[in-house]
Amino acid sequence: MLQGLSDLGQAYLSFLNPMTLLYGLGGAFVGIVMGILPGLSATLAIALLTTLTIKLSPNDAILVLICSYVGALYGGSRTAILLNIPGTAANAASCADGHALALKGQAGRAIGIATSGAFVSTLIGVVCLALFTPMLAEVALKFGAFEFFWLALFGVTMSGSIVGSDPIKGWLMGLLGLLLAQVGQESLYAYDRFTFGWDELSGGIGLIPALVGAFGLAEVLTTLADPIERKIADLKDSVLPRWREVIQYRWTVLRSGIIGVATGLLPGVGEDAGAWMSYASAKALSKNKEEFGKGSIDGLMAAETGDMSSIPGHIIPSLALGIPGSAPSAVLMAAMIIHGVQPGPMLMIDNPQFIYHVVAMTTLASVTILLFGLFGVRPLLQVLKIRRGILMPIVFVLCTVGAFATASRLFDVYVMLAIGIGAFFLRRRGYEMAPLVLGLVLGHLLDKSLRRGLVLSDGSLLPFITRPICIVFAVVTVFTILMYVPAFKAAVKAAVAAVGNRLATLLGRKAGA
């Protein structure tokens, strides 16, 4: 315990220098701008900044990415309040009450509430991040090649629910990512697979060209194909938060912060789930339910607290298990790998101090959004006046430069273009790209673990289904898939209801006795 506190203190001290603070402010600024612009997202912000930070040290680069992650979700509340358009999917729950307040001439007050809720809830998540990540990582140290195989397979299974409402499409994209991960030389004997005689493919599909194509170029094409123009609500009142309101709704903040972290711990449950569950909880427990959707301070506070606290919640399984829980955290995990940090159970052995560095990074991110939220709102809103016909070509240039700069290969630009164009058409058919990236990231681990396990067991599959941790992962993986079968899901609900009724009957009899 004392050693952990010492490591945490050293991590905070290591970030108290002007250059590092500047990186944090810059990352948060870019993230907020991306969040403010409707159609752009935290996922795109992380993907683009991964290419621009490739020459930085791992700690500085990942600090920029985490600050942009937090900043993008925070910035998305601006358009939710002023335009009734969620900047990111996680801000959808803020639209009803946030925009209702803006229509009443209280847009500044709504932004102040969102700022205070985002700051406090991120700190709640930081505390959980510091407490739970080392504990979960200690358990994961017992993993071997057999357990890693099931861990990777479980992660790909989560692609069915990581985004969207159609699990089949999610699994198909996850499997496509697995297939792309097999391109190039395999890990044991360096034999070329699926290269079709192209020497450029021997090294496999690069993560950065894939990320930039799937999220950057596809977003540019999607935005240009479906432009949306909305009128901005006036911002006349002060944006400084009323701290008495924060104190008044302290239980809402605490409850929603815990709900956000809890939903973040569940792989496949995005930030929007944390926001909606917190909003529903606040409405259920409120004495003024009729105000929700009409400008409720309680509702807006719950929504913003729930989505922001889920960010540290998603980072916990990403670091400890190597399983991201949302689209932005999947891209963040891929960026960590690119920068030489391997998330997963071995992190506590190879680089245990890094966990505490991430805690310090997330704390710094929460402070930066507070500063921008208090003093930079009006200048940042000028970004909304930029025409998309001007902005999107700039983003496209950044995508091209980012894909080329990492390895100085023109072939990577072609990969980015091919994946981006393909992603554009797939997205228009309802297929999301986060499962593709998840499959691409976990595909190498799955392939390597399967082959190593077979070597260790002399070709036997028994260890994959007889070791205790493997059994747990196998059962959970199969159960997760079956839960998307309507008949099985209905049977599970009926069984749970029957057990609940039986327990209620037994408890009633005991109380009567």
Secondary structure (3-state) at 184: strand
Q: Token pair 């108290």 is at which residue?
A: 16
What local confidence, expressed as pLDDT, does residue 425 receive?
92
Amino acid at 402: G
What local confidence, expressed as pLDDT, does residue 418 receive?
92
Which two tokens mark 269? 């449950």
DSSP letter at 185 equals E
User: What pLDDT, in 10s, does the model give residues 44-88?
Assistant: 788 888 888 888 888 888 999 999 988 888 887 877 777 666 666
Tell whether the model's pLDDT for residue 135 goes beyond 80. Answer: no
Tell whether the model's pLDDT for residue 358 goes beyond 90. Answer: no
Which two tokens mark 507? 């408890």
User: What pLDDT, in 10s, does the model give residues 464-503?
Assistant: 888 888 898 889 888 878 887 888 888 888 888 888 777 7
Of all helices (H) and strands (E), which one includes residue 192?
A: strand 192-193
Tell whether the model's pLDDT for residue 4 goes beyond 80. Answer: no
Secondary structure (3-state) at 226: coil
Secondary structure (3-state) at 126: helix
The three-state (H, E, C) secondary structure of 283-351, written as one string: HHHCCCHHHCCCCCHHHHHHHHHHHHHHHHHHHHHHHHCCCCCCHHHHHHHHHHHHCCCCCCCCHHHHC
Tell whether the model's pLDDT for residue 117 goes beyond 90. Answer: no
Tell whether the model's pLDDT for residue 148 goes beyond 70. Answer: yes
Q: Alpha-carbon distance 488 to 483, whole Å?
A: 6
Residue 192's DSSP bridge partners are 185
Q: Alpha-carbon distance 437 to 393, whole Å?
A: 24
What local confidence, expressed as pLDDT, does residue 287 receive?
79
The pair phi, psi for residue 193, each rounded to 5°, is: -130, 135
Of the candidates 284, 295, 286, 300, the residue with the CA atom closest to the CA atom of residue 121: 300
Q: Alpha-carbon distance 295 to 289, whole Å?
A: 11
Secondary structure (3-state) at 503: helix
User: What pLDDT, in 10s, does the model give residues 161-212?
Assistant: 655 567 788 888 888 988 888 888 887 777 888 888 888 888 888 777 887 7
Secondary structure (3-state) at 193: strand
Q: Alpha-carbon distance 345 to 126, whole Å?
A: 20
What local confidence, expressed as pLDDT, does residue 293 receive?
75
Q: Alpha-carbon distance 412 to 210, whole Å?
A: 9
Helices 42-52 + 58-82 axis angle, to 10: 150
Q: Alpha-carbon distance 321 to 272, whole Å?
A: 22
Question: What percentage of the chain reaches a pLDDT higher than 90?
Answer: 2
What local confidence, expressed as pLDDT, does residue 240 receive?
67
Query: What's the pTM value of the predicted model, to 2 decimals?
Result: 0.70
Q: Is 231 left (phi over 0), alpha (psi -120 to 50) or beta?
A: beta
Q: Is 190 left (phi over 0), alpha (psi -120 to 50) or beta?
A: left
The greatest distance separating any two alpha carbons of the chain, rounded to the nearest whole angstrom, comes to 80
